[in-house]
Amino acid sequence: MIMTNTKNLKPLNSFSINISARHIVEVHNEAELYKVWKNAENQSTPTLMLGRGTNVLFLENYTGIVLLNRIAGIEIEEQHQAWNLHVGAGEIWDNLVRTCLSKKIPGLENLALIPGCVGAAPIHNIGAYGVEFCQFCNYVDVLHLKTGTLLRLNTNECQFGYRDSIFKHTLRDNHAIVRVGFQLLKSWNPTLTYGVLKKIHPQHATPQLIYDTICMIRRTTLPDPVLTGNAGSFFKNPIINAGKAKQLLKEYPDAPNYLQPEGKIKLAAGWLIDQCGLKGYRIGGAATYDKQALILINFNNATSKDITTLARYIRKKVEKKFAILLEPEVRFIGPLGEVDGIAEII
C-alpha cells in the first residue's frame, strides 16, 4: 500500500480538473484494499475506487480517500480452443491488448487504445469499432468490501448492456473489481464492420493491422488527454424506438443510425450535437472538440462548472431540435461520492 504525498487529483482525472482529495492511496492487492476501506469505514470517511480517472468528472474537492487500484498481473493459460486470461484490475487496458498481440492472441484489437484500467472495463462494458468487452469476458472477481469476501460473477451475472452492467447498479457501492477473466477464442474472425475498418479486405486482415489502423484513426480524431483534458464521449449514443427513428430519418435521411438486436435504433449523439451547430462551441474554459462534438474538452483551465454548464446547454439544444434527451456516459463525482449525472445537467 502506498499513501501518496499528494492530495492533488488533477493528474489523476483525464479532464485535468483542478481538484483534491483528503487522501490518495495506491493499493496493490485485495488485502490492502480491504484494510484501507475498513479503516476508512470505521472513521466514517467516504472512499472512491479509481482506475486511471478517464471516465469521471469531479464536481468539487473529494472529502474522502481515493483508492487507486494498482492490482497487477496478466496470467495466460492456453487451452485447446482458447486462451484464458486472469488479469489484475489495475493493469492498463491498452497494455493488455498489446500483450495479447505480442503473444499472437487475437480478439481485443478493436478495443485498441481505450484509456483506463482493466478493472473499469466491465463497469462501462467498454466498446469501440463494433466490439464490446462483454464478448470476451469469462468472469469478474469482485471484493465485497463490507465483508471482505470475494465473489466471482459469470458473464450473465454481470448483466452487460450498452455502456452498462450490474457494477453501475446493485454492485455499485461497497464492491471493488479486483480481477477480470477473459476467454479469447483461437477461431478468430475479424470484426471489420465499422468505419475505416470496412476498407480492410477480410483476407488481408490481421489483429496487428486492425490494431494499428484503429490507433492511427484514434490518434488523429480524438484529443489526447495528456495534452487536452477530456473523458472521451461525454454522452451515450441515444437508443430510440423504431417509430420515432422512422420519423426522424424521414426528416434527416443522413442521420447515422444502427439497428439494435431488440429492433430499436441507436443514433450518434455526436451527429445530433453537430446538427445543433455546437462543434467547437465554448462556455468558459470548456468546449466541444472541433473534430468530434461528442467530446467535451478542458479547453482552457475549465472548472467542473464550465463542463456541466456546457453539457446542460448541449442537452437543451438537442432536446429542442430532436426531442431526444441525452444521458451522460461520464460518471459524476461529488464531495462524498458518485452523484446522478442527469440531475447535474437538467
Ligand X SMILES: Cc1cc2nc3c(=O)[nH]c(=O)nc-3n(C[C@H](O)[C@H](O)[C@H](O)COP(=O)(O)OP(=O)(O)OC[C@H]3O[C@@H](n4cnc5c(N)ncnc54)[C@H](O)[C@@H]3O)c2cc1C
Which positions are catalytic? 163, 233, 329
Pairwise CA distance, residues 267 & 264, whole Å: 10
200-207 long-range contacts, Cβ below 8 Å, gap at least 24?
207/101, 207/106, 207/107, 207/109
The reply to whether 59 sits near ligand X by the rule CB under 6 A is no
Under DSSP, the state recorded for 260 is -
Nearest approach, Cβ of 242 to ligand X (angstroms)?
25
What gap in Å lies between CA 25 and CA 12, rounded to an integer? Answer: 12
- The residue among 56 and 248 lying less far from ligand X, judged by its C-beta, is 56
Complete DSSP assignment for 132-191: EGGGTEEEEEEEETTTTEEEEEETGGGT-BTTB-GGGTTTSSSEEEEEEEEEEESS----
Q: Which is nearer to ligand X, 195 or 316 (CB)?
A: 195
Do 235 and 341 touch, CB atoms closer than 8 A? Answer: no
Q: Which is nearer to ligand X, 30 or 338 (CB)?
A: 338
Q: Smallest gap, in angstroms, from Cβ of residue 182 to ligand X?
A: 15
Where does residue 275 rank: exposed (0-12), middle (13-18), buried (19+ CB within 10 A)? Answer: middle
Q: Which three cell numbers stand for residue 87?
A: 488479469
Q: Is 131 in the site for ligand X (CB under 6 A)?
A: no
Q: Which parts of 108-127 interact with ligand X (CB under 6 A)?
A: 114-117, 119-121, 123-124, 126-127
Where on the phi/psi map is residue 280: left (φ > 0), alpha (ψ -120 to 50), or beta? Answer: left
* Interface segment toward ligand X; rule CB under 6 A; list 52-60, 202-210, 242-250, 296-304: 52-60
Site residues (CB under 6 A) for ligand X, limited to 205-224 = 222
Q: Are 251 and 258 in contact (CB under 8 A)?
A: no
- Which residue in 25, 176, 269, 314 binds ligand X (CB under 6 A)? 176
Span near ligand X by CB under 6 A; candidates 21-29, 54-62, 73-81, 296-304: 54-62
Q: Does 230 contact ligand X by CB under 6 A? A: yes
Candidates 227-235, 275-283, 310-318, 319-327; binding stretch for ligand X (CB under 6 A): 227-235
Q: Does 180 bind ligand X (CB under 6 A)?
A: no
Binding site for ligand X (CB under 6 A): 14, 48-56, 69, 89, 114-117, 119-121, 123-124, 126-128, 176-177, 222, 225, 230-232, 331, 338
